[in-house]
Chain A
């Protein structure tokens, strides 16, 4: 660093954030932007959750009570889109913004102005998407996977707004990914080697490459939809020489990496929390990095396991079955490593650890059902039933979302400089842990018994388990009111937190004061500091 830029950085240090609302509009600070991302995703989580409550209310008992089928389809579609693109993905980008510069000893993200833009696109995209509810013909009602031709020839006019919203969300994600790659590779402390990096940084670096590979494919898919709908092309219309199954290939070429985009950063988070509360270094650091990279690679070559019933040739089905089963190997390695980290540790069970342990347990159950779904002949009976719904909620709710909530409790004292109420947080954990299982576990049974997904009404034989599932979901919904209270209570009334509230936690972020200063790491950490805070020594 030359002396002039050091002086400039030093000058900056005395500037606090701007006053008032404009601070948030104009900010280029990674911590401010991380906060914006996290609150935005939390708001979207509540909106998507409200849709889920609507869905479960209609399914509480057989018959149609609350909604017309068309509106029910709008709810399932928007629930999926909002949760995937509005809640889970932005929450991870928010965590990356907050944590990556602090973890690699950098003063900020590499591209701060682009960082501002990539956040501020989101509220507009979200508003456009949600506004479709108020348009003639209603919101998109073709499921979050929007298969053509239901989403092209047979879709309401509002679909064009949906396409525009997806484009914007894609821009935002790609910019976020570029920023993270640039930050990790160029801004990490000069003394930090790649294999010194904490796992959250590693998993996000790999996730960024998935985003850059996958999001443009999604943009291509929606652009083809747009031209099919408005400009007379026939990419997905057999009458014009196109093929609706091609849409599914393109969608899942994006969609399968996408599901790993939503889980890899959570793997990273769990790899921070378990060593801290087991008071033992992470077991198999390098195999964790290689396993993450293998999962990312495999995620690009398994997409058609979502399409076993589209009429693929048998050779294709065999290949995609084998490739899919292979993913169980690196994923298994991760789970085994976490268990080995706990083994012969000295464990305590503060709230972040409870969420992390619950993640390992429940995500693995989701992994088991994933392995079963990968067996192509059995998938004939599972496909598009509630068994699939149970599977992906186990990996996305008790996987991705659990990772996010664990991260929030783990790093909240660092972000705010205050401690949350441990007793309430534990009550919240058990409420969520029990209710989420009451909600989703019975869905395995109704799926196996033959209830398809995405239906507003069902045969009487499915009534009992749907009732249980709905009751569980209402309790799960209520748990988020408690979660909101715990967060607000922590920010307003929390007791001051120490710089390293978890005594055994390692990582450069814990060397900073709490609450953390607006600008950090004016001077990069030394080799000795990096090694002292390393996860695996």
Chain B
């Protein structure tokens, strides 16, 4: 089997000259938590058990195909029953399975049972982004696919490779999740709309995010570094464009990051009380729109007929502002709620929608959003 792996790998490198230097992987990651390494061990154990059974079964089969063929003058025997043999090949697999089940059960219990966590992060899946909340630290932010990836989805292969190295295309986000090393983190995972799945292979964590319910998972990362994953449950149109990037940093770096995030939040709150000019709102709104809204309503505001309404000439974007504010804050049918954005972001994006795409709605100030909440 190993030979086969190497052989297939060699063919892969030969066929694809353009990415001859690709660092393709053939196997599951070992990861950087004790659990992910246990999982890797179980995976390899199960793999080698299968290889061993395969050698025996396929060995007998191919020996028979070669040796017991009519063209070599083989005469058919006539045996067709043996209770002893049937007992043996029912019994031995049962023993092998029990031997496999014991370590698997142990790891499963380790994964599911957590006594005490050092910190908690709430992860919320939203079509098609992740929201991270640190309830104890009072930090909250949304993590979107990086604009640099988004821009080259339909570009030529050369343009794509110029922008991104091997692991970064479609696996980069604007705001990374930041966690301290050697710390037990409990993740509370939920969803605002459909079912998503939060998967970081290096942590050995993959857990469904169910709307209306909270699942939990945990990880204790042992190594500093950047780890990438993505949504692993079909969640609609942009399921493939919903990556996860986690920075595991030293405890000191983490403390500094928490402080800077908290300072950012204070500044953001202050900005919501002042009066903004239309130009500033539209400029900021365009960024917010492209990150949060263009996935459905399209970058040019044309929407997708029958699924996602257009912004252009819409009754909402040209009608009373209060209705639109309510809709963005609370959602409507397929449209998710955007409560988690700041008042300034919501005011800017609504203003952008009402003043661009040939629309002629009124300007919305952050204070309007504050009072509507």
Contacts and interface: CB of A to CB of B under 8 A. Distances in A.
Interface of A: 61-65, 69-70, 73, 135-138, 141-143, 147, 149-150, 153-154, 156-157, 237-239, 243-245, 278-287, 309-311, 313-314, 317-318, 321-322, 325-326, 328-329, 332-333, 335-336, 339-349, 357, 360-361, 364-365, 368-369, 371-372, 375-378, 380-381, 383-385, 441-442, 445, 448-450, 452-465, 467-468, 471, 536
Given A63-B153, A154-B193, A345-B64, A372 B43 contact: yes
A367 to B, nearest CB: 9
Interface string B83-106: 001100110011001001100110
A378 B46 contact: yes
A347 B68 contact: yes
Interface in B122-150: 127
A383 B77 CA distance: 45
Contacts of B64: 339, 342-345, 347
Contacts of B69: 346-349
A326 B167 CA distance: 39
Contacts of A322: 101
B22 A463 contact: yes
A384 B233 contact: yes
B23 interface: yes
A141 to B, nearest CB: 7
A493 to B, nearest CB: 29
Interface string B33-69: 0001011001100110010011001101100110011
Interface string B17-30: 00100111111110
Contacts of A147: 194-195, 233-234
B154 A64 contact: yes
Closest 3 CB pairs of A and B: A238-B212, A455-B240, A137-B306
Interface string B145-184: 0000000111101001100111111110000000000000
Contact of B157 (A63, A343, A383): A63
Contacts of B168: 459
B157 A62 contact: yes
B161 A445 contact: no
Given A149-B211, A345-B76, A468 B12 contact: yes
Size class of B's contact patch? 35 or more
Contacts of A384: 197, 232-234
B192 to A, nearest CB: 11
B80 A345 contact: no
B96 to A, nearest CB: 9
Given A459-B171, A463-B16, A318 B108 contact: yes
14 contacts: A63-B152, A238-B213, A245-B210, A311-B213, A325-B101, A343-B60, A343-B64, A361-B58, A442-B8, A448-B25, A450-B29, A455-B239, A464-B15, A471-B15
Nearest to A458: B170
Contacts of B22: 460-461, 463-464
A113 B57 CA distance: 46
Given A69-B237, A468-B11, A311 B86 contact: no
A4 B316 CA distance: 78
Contacts of A154: 127, 193-194, 236, 334
User: Most B CB atoms within 10 A — which of A282, A328, A360, A455?
Assistant: A455
Nearest to A370: B50
Nearest to A448: B28
B70 A279 contact: yes
Given A244-B211, A314-B113, 4 more contacts: A317-B108, A346-B68, A365-B54, A442-B8
Contacts of B108: 314, 317-318, 321, 376-377
A48 to B, nearest CB: 18
Contact of B112 (A317, A343, A457, A458): A317
Given A141-B237, A157-B306, A464-B15, A375 B104 contact: yes
Given A348-B70, A381-B28, A461-B23, A450 B240 contact: no
Nearest to A471: B15
Contact of B240 (A286, A287, A458): A458
A284 B86 contact: yes
A286 B81 CA distance: 9
A283 to B, nearest CB: 5
Contact of B166 (A286, A335, A336, A459): A459
B317 interface: no
Nearest to A275: B80
B155 A63 contact: yes
Contact of A380 (B54, B76, B204): B204
